[in-house]
């Protein structure tokens, strides 16, 4: 697929040990399955811990914007990440079905 036609998502996952994982992808369904162990290529971060729930999703037109936002969120404290999760930018409503898989 042409890079210019892809849409990008930033997501925050609550893990089994209550830590928060932030990442980006073009296919949130596939990435959730990878992190859950249903498909190969999940992040090394999830070895020894399991994803519990997607708490936050934000849509971007390109990888550059998504990567910049990912970088800024990864620098935040847990309490500030929780503020981001509760913000109006959260588009999780479209992806809540993933939490029931």
Phi/psi of residue 11, nearest 5 degrees: -140, 155
Q: Residues 3-100: name the CATH superfamily.
A: GIY-YIG endonuclease (3.40.1440.10)
| Predicted local distance difference test score (pLDDT) of residue 14 | 93
pTM of the predicted model, to two decimals? 0.82
pLDDT digits (tens, 9 = 90+) for 41-95: 666 666 777 888 999 999 999 999 999 999 999 999 999 999 999 988 888 877 7
Cα separation of the two ends of the chain: 27
pLDDT tens, 16-52? Answer: 899 999 999 999 888 888 877 766 666 666 677 788 8
Q: Which two tokens stand for residue 35?
A: 């992190």
């Amino acid at each position: 697929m042409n890079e210019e036609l892809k849409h990008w998502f930033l997501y925050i996952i609550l893990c089994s040990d209550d830590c928060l994982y932030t990442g980006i992808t073009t296919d949130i369904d596939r990435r959730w399955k990878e992190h859950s162990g249903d498909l190969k290529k999940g992040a090394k971060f999830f070895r020894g811990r399991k994803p519990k729930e997607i708490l936050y999703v934000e849509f971007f037109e390109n990888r550059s914007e998504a990567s910049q936002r990912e970088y800024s969120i990864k620098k935040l404290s847990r309490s500030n990440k929780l503020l981001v999760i509760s913000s109006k930018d959260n588009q999780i409503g479209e992806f809540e079905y993933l939490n029931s898989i």
